[in-house]
Amino acid sequence: MNTFGQLFRITTWGESHGGAVGVVVDGCPPQIDIDISAIQYELDRRRPGQSHLTTPRQEVDAVEILSGVFENKTLGTPISMLVWNKDARPSAYDHLKDIYRPSHADFTYQKKYGIRNWQGGGRASARETIGRVAAGAIAKQILRERSGTETLAYVKQIHALEAMVDTEVVTLQDIENSPVRCPDPIVSSKMAERVDQARRDQDSLGGIIESVTRNVPVGLGEPVFDKLKADLAKAMMSLPATMGFQIGSGFSGITQTGSEHNDAFYNESGRIRTRTNNSGGTQGGISNGEDIVFQVAFKPTATIGKPQQTVDMDGNEVTLEASGRHDPCVLVRAPAIVEAMAALVLTDHFLRHNAKC
Amino acid sequence: MNTFGQLFRITTWGESHGGAVGVVVDGCPPQIDIDISAIQYELDRRRPGQSHLTTPRQEVDAVEILSGVFENKTLGTPISMLVWNKDARPSAYDHLKDIYRPSHADFTYQKKYGIRNWQGGGRASARETIGRVAAGAIAKQILRERSGTETLAYVKQIHALEAMVDTEVVTLQDIENSPVRCPDPIVSSKMAERVDQARRDQDSLGGIIESVTRNVPVGLGEPVFDKLKADLAKAMMSLPATMGFQIGSGFSGITQTGSEHNDAFYNESGRIRTRTNNSGGTQGGISNGEDIVFQVAFKPTATIGKPQQTVDMDGNEVTLEASGRHDPCVLVRAPAIVEAMAALVLTDHFLRHNAKC
Amino acid sequence: MNTFGQLFRITTWGESHGGAVGVVVDGCPPQIDIDISAIQYELDRRRPGQSHLTTPRQEVDAVEILSGVFENKTLGTPISMLVWNKDARPSAYDHLKDIYRPSHADFTYQKKYGIRNWQGGGRASARETIGRVAAGAIAKQILRERSGTETLAYVKQIHALEAMVDTEVVTLQDIENSPVRCPDPIVSSKMAERVDQARRDQDSLGGIIESVTRNVPVGLGEPVFDKLKADLAKAMMSLPATMGFQIGSGFSGITQTGSEHNDAFYNESGRIRTRTNNSGGTQGGISNGEDIVFQVAFKPTATIGKPQQTVDMDGNEVTLEASGRHDPCVLVRAPAIVEAMAALVLTDHFLRHNAKC
Amino acid sequence: MNTFGQLFRITTWGESHGGAVGVVVDGCPPQIDIDISAIQYELDRRRPGQSHLTTPRQEVDAVEILSGVFENKTLGTPISMLVWNKDARPSAYDHLKDIYRPSHADFTYQKKYGIRNWQGGGRASARETIGRVAAGAIAKQILRERSGTETLAYVKQIHALEAMVDTEVVTLQDIENSPVRCPDPIVSSKMAERVDQARRDQDSLGGIIESVTRNVPVGLGEPVFDKLKADLAKAMMSLPATMGFQIGSGFSGITQTGSEHNDAFYNESGRIRTRTNNSGGTQGGISNGEDIVFQVAFKPTATIGKPQQTVDMDGNEVTLEASGRHDPCVLVRAPAIVEAMAALVLTDHFLRHNAKC
């Protein structure tokens, strides 16, 4: 369904074209300070058209809060937020009405539902993430107020260009200073060139987003199915274009032996810590107080300018000539989304932990 | 919580020591044929002690069905299954009572709950997966009856040894013929040697399990949060020792451009298919009828024989000398578990798809 | 939380004052015809100020559909609907800021959340039911299209005035012809007088709503916790001011013996029916194809014009003088709400039944 | 499904015949003292055959705890409990194989699932409540430890005989002293005679169970769908044979006006209380600290000795001659079940309240 979370629960709605997109946040504790400009800031980070590197679509996604907040504080009731769709030029999509775009959701939606909103991707559009980001901004505020927890995400790799980033010290400022949101200044420049090249080629690029969460309380997560790593994996793999998730040592940890890979405990002035963090901040599915570090693989964007072979709804093989503008690398907008999803998962588990103990 | 799935829903229970471990399967359609020997077969695949390569623990995990089945058919009511714990020698664990084993759940459980069953890992033990495998055997039967869908999983990589496997033709027989459940005979032999070496070293190994599901109906999965890839990721990352999940081209797809990576549609005698399967069988979160192919990274087993530095519950730094027997590579038992989880996810989405359309 | 239903799931949001109230309907099957005027019709039935008998508040609650519908058909994606709050005169509520109105939610909200929107009752306002009614209108359409099922509700009793209604033949027309929505014309007139009397007395009245659902498929409902009668009871008791729920013979059936009360089966031209319907249309929690008949008790409205003793937020005992206008009998608006909730429950179970069998 | 509760969650399983019946309790806080004899005490209260007034079935329902408890304390992991079915004489039910018993679940189960366990009612049997009562005993313990909250239930009315009970002072001892669990000694004697009469008549009786919960924290319950009264209603209407639920003034409150019915607040030495309790302990769906008082109507037991008209599975009209033994009044066993359900609802809301605030 369109709901995520158990106690801190969001329900997103809206197609990319049509009235609006939005979210209902349920389960938010009362008396949390709400700063609408902080929500708008996150939406602006997510928005296309922030620089020449990203798609030129120039909507301003201005969020409205319709309920759940009274005199700038949460009431404990559902918070409804929406952003109106302003760029609705349905005719721009007429040529897509009968065509299945490769590696898009057109074909599967049509087969599942027998109907689809073919204007701009409908529910599969990246605009769906607006609701997630708005809700995530509230989750971030809760984590900040209650436990001083902060989640960051940034571009770790684009195509073959991989950045060096120290997860322990990287800041939001470092990330936002880069036009591609890569906090390694040297690799950042190369990435920007590579993205421009892809734009000129009418092609697209994928890459890796890395996320670090610091100051995590010990004890978040549930032992079996709702392990913190499992809920983070689901959150990330529920994003469009994601192809993989790994935490801590991930896929590269398998070439170590157990004696190399185990994180030895030690006593740091009364706080029990681990000397290494191959576990990525969780053990047995539960946060151990070390930084939570994970990576998410995004495939190259499916929308490209180059002609492609595909079929139409009648099964005829046809060539798709895209309409021109495209976003050669969605990664640049992804950090805000990844941070939002991580904050949602952590807040949910924060409340779940409160309930029990 | 300890429940997984929305319409086909399992609740597992049980510590590794104490009375029993089990599962309640809720939402199973009525009139499904139940063959208890098929369930037992899967449990035997999961069981330790199947060969000299795995842990010598020699329990026979005989499953009992306590409800929900009448004259070998499901009633549509909850199916309760259990396996008694027979190997309960609590004293074997006495030395672990006050110690946090590195990269185990001891520390996080203790901090979260203030109490833990320190005998054999309690709820974090691999015995918890018995319930998953028993439930998965029923899910497999539903998929077989209703849509002819088959899920397989096998060892793709151990440490640095990677197998070559053709996902389109590999069979259960190929997998079970190998003592390490790797269907590539040449690499399988090397793997067996490598595992034996790890045993002698009192050390452990990790690796990759790959899974393929064939004959998947088009339309399984939900567009946003409950994408098929997201639920598979959660299912896999909810298993002990998993560190990563990737579907289709996964992390390696990021060095392709969009024009290289997109899966072109074509018309194969009236059935719309894709020429490549970089998407791994889902698009927009929904199955497209191609094989579902994913991989799961397992870290090297945390339990090893070598001495390790750690702390006890009072914060004293101590050396942990393990008790001798250990399983140097849990991967060998993992295929049954990965298949079970994949079958559970697919069955749940199969029923969810039925509901709506 | 603010979500109701499992497969056909609604999430309502909104306070009585502030931006808007609304609902997200998730799980709606695709390709259902949506007629916005049918939704508006139900909202108009729910709206105060329909006659001199009800509160004079004159908002027009015009519904907007923001997502999930394309070319007048559902997409299978979430349907977001909202109604703007227009009558926001916060100053009209200033005198209630610090006072706990008797038998209202002011005290409990304040204690639970430490904050409340004291303007017009906030989330406890009857305006919250707007979202339920809008969603219920869609549920009614699904039931009509898929199984020809129709739910009606009407005023059965106000204060001591009880109507005679034949559940097998009563029509929507019969109900809407009465200014108090009581299809017994003689008692309806007396009720209208009694309500006018209460208005003049600055007092309020309660009563009973009765509902009948005809043409119900056999098999809706789940055996144990999610019995149809249990979900109907929850739906009705989740409405403001409800104090009781009974199905079939209800509380009056207890003075019969089993041999008098049991519903004998017989064969009516191949269809198995019961000669009596003391069971009210469900047996073992599952619909048996007979009409579903239940009643809901509503207490007299808590808001009255008469002075009342109460306390303020500092614990001082004070006299509350209400501000004048009040609705002496909310029952008149309740049929649309009761019908909506019944339709939501039935639609949810309709989809759940589809999933399994 | 077969799960009840959101954070304190039970899953019951088991038919009346076949292996066993049981429950998995998930979400129980850690470190709660578990006294198995307290659980057994509640099961004994629920058990048939406690006196000559109830059915002579003489099973001893001995509970076993299989997981989740370690050294007499909860671990925070799922608690699995079961009771073996010992009275399995399938042949005693052979005559029911093809017959639909009036006002039983035989017909609806057969139509819903196409299969049913016709031995003793299968899942619709009162034995299903064993799991609820065992789980409820744990919930009672949590409420006792955490907030000193106590729930009682007793027989308020059998057939036309209504007891006088002071909800503020009635004790468990008062209830258990009566062979029919009615704490009014004079009416209790008449009830016992009336039940004996029904037994001799091969007939059955219904009645009302009343429940009072004292020492309830303020703030339990959620504003909209998950109102405390709504969840209590669902809990009670999910029990076999229940036909109605009312809280506080219930159906009888409707003949009062608002000014008569409203519960005036006053300040009792700093604690805000209400002078009357027509609300039954909740306002706006949330507990206000007054006693929670509700009533549940149970129909006369469907199983009787008298011959009845019905149909068989082929649609033939037949006469059902029951097999002799029957329980003329299940009410006597119902208090333990009603208390258990109330305790489960309150515990769930207790944990939910913790989570948020």
Q: Which two tokens stand for residue D202?
A: 């091969």
Grade residue A184 by pLDDT with cuts at 50, 70 and 90. very high
Contacts of B76 (CB under 8 A, 6+ apart): B28, B29, B30, B31, C356, C357, D112, D113, D115
Q: Which among B105, B34, B106 is positioned nearest to B64, based on CA atoms? A: B34
C79-105: average pLDDT: 86
- Total domains in chain B come to 1
pLDDT of residue A87: 63
Residue A54 clears pLDDT 60, i.e. is over it: no
> Across the interface, which of C108, C227, C258 has its CB nearest the CB of D300?
C258
What is the per-residue pLDDT across C32-89, written as a single tens digit (0 to 9) for each? 999 999 999 999 999 876 665 655 555 578 999 999 999 999 999 999 999 999 865 6
pTM recorded for the entire structure: 0.97
Contact C337/A at CB under 8 A: no
SS (H, E, C) C304-353: CCCCEEEEECCCCEEEECCCCCCCCCHHHHHHHHHHHHHHHHHHHHHHHH
The span from the CA of C192 to the CA of C196, in Å, is: 6
The CATH number of whichever domain residue D248 belongs to comes to 3.60.150.10
pLDDT of residue C285: 96
Please list every residue in chain B whose beta carbon sits closer than 8 Å to the beta carbon of residue D80: 13-14, 19-20, 22, 82
Is the distance from CB of B158 to CB of B195 less than 8 angstroms? yes
pLDDT of residue B326: 78
Task: For residue A252, count other CB atoms closer than 10 A to its CB.
Answer: 14
Grade residue A95 by pLDDT with cuts at 50, 70 and 90. confident
Contact C80/A at CB under 8 A: yes
Is the distance from CB of C274 to CB of C290 less than 8 angstroms? yes
Q: What is the residue-wise DSSP string for C44-55? A: HHH-S-SSTTS-
Contact B31/D at CB under 8 A: yes
From D68's Cα to the closest Cα of chain A, the distance in A is: 13
The subunits that touch chain B, with at least 3 C-beta pairs less than 8 Å apart, are A, C, D
The span from the CA of C284 to the CA of C245, in Å, is: 18
Please list every residue in chain C whose beta carbon sits closer than 8 Å to the beta carbon of residue B29: 356-357
Is the distance from CB of B61 to CB of B42 less than 8 angstroms? no
The span from the CA of D95 to the CA of D118, in Å, is: 10
CA B148 to chain centre: 21
Q: What is the pLDDT along chain B (357 residues), one digit of tens a residue?
A: 899 999 999 999 999 888 999 999 999 999 999 999 999 999 999 987 666 565 555 557 899 999 999 999 999 999 999 999 986 566 777 888 899 999 999 999 999 999 998 887 788 888 999 999 999 999 999 999 999 999 999 999 999 999 999 999 999 999 999 999 999 999 999 999 999 999 999 999 999 999 999 999 999 999 999 999 999 999 999 999 999 999 999 999 999 999 999 999 999 999 999 999 999 999 999 999 999 999 999 999 999 999 999 999 999 999 998 766 778 999 999 999 999 999 999 999 999 999 876
> Across the interface, which of B29, B77, B357 has its CB nearest the CB of C357?
B29
> Across the interface, which of B30, B223, B355 has its CB nearest the CB of C355?
B355
Is the distance from CB of B142 to CB of B150 less than 8 angstroms? no
What is the per-residue pLDDT across B289-326, written as a single tens digit (0 to 9) for each? 999 999 999 999 999 999 999 999 999 999 998 766 77
pLDDT, averaged across chain A: 93
Residue C256 clears pLDDT 90, i.e. is over it: yes
Is the distance from CB of B72 to CB of B34 less than 8 angstroms? yes
CA A342 to chain centre: 8
pLDDT of residue B87: 63
The span from the CA of A289 to the CA of A228, in Å, is: 12
Residues of chain D with pLDDT under 50: none
Q: Which among A163, A201, A171, A166 is positioned nearest to A329, based on CA atoms? A: A201
What range defines the domain where residue B310 resides?
Answer: 3-356
- Range with the poorest average pLDDT among A128-142, A300-314, B43-57, D92-106: B43-57
The span from the CA of A21 to the CA of A17, in Å, is: 9
Q: Which two tokens stand for residue A324?
A: 């021109």
pLDDT of residue D90: 63
The span from the CA of A109 to the CA of A124, in Å, is: 9
Please list every residue in chain C whose beta carbon sits closer than 8 Å to the beta carbon of residue B77: 223
Cα D65–D128–D25 angle (5° rounding)? Answer: 40
- The answer for B 238-297 residues in CB contact with A (under 8 A) is 238, 240, 242-251, 253-267, 270, 272, 274, 278-280, 282-288, 297
Cβ distance C80 to A20 less than 8 Å, yes or no, reads yes
Amino acid present at A314: D
What is the per-residue pLDDT across A148-168, written as a single tens digit (0 to 9) for each? 999 999 999 999 999 999 999
- CA distance readout (Å), B313 to A267, B97, B106, D76: 11, 9, 10, 19
Q: What are phi and psi of D323, to 5 degrees?
A: -85, 5
Please list every residue in chain B whose beta carbon sits closer than 8 Å to the beta carbon of residue C356: 7, 27, 29-30, 76, 351, 354
What is the per-residue pLDDT across C294-345, written as a single tens digit (0 to 9) for each? 999 999 999 999 999 999 999 999 999 876 677 899 999 999 999 999 999 9
Contacts of D353 (CB under 8 A, 6+ apart): C112, D217, D219, D220
A252-277: average pLDDT: 97
From D251's Cα to the closest Cα of chain A, the distance in A is: 30
Residue found under tokens 């074509």:
B266
Q: 3-state class of D145 per DSSP?
A: helix
How big, in percent rounded to 5, are the helix, strand and coil portions of chain A? 35, 25, 45
pLDDT of residue A110: 95
Contact C5/A at CB under 8 A: no
The span from the CA of D319 to the CA of D324, in Å, is: 15
> Across the interface, which of D102, D198, D208 has its CB nearest the CB of C263?
D102
Contact A355/D at CB under 8 A: yes
- CA distance readout (Å), C75 to A10, B223, C35, C95, C266: 20, 12, 14, 47, 43
How many interchain CB pairs under 8 A, A with C? 149
pLDDT of residue C199: 93
pLDDT of residue D193: 97
Cβ distance A27 to D76 less than 8 Å, yes or no, reads no
Q: 3-state class of D105 per DSSP?
A: coil
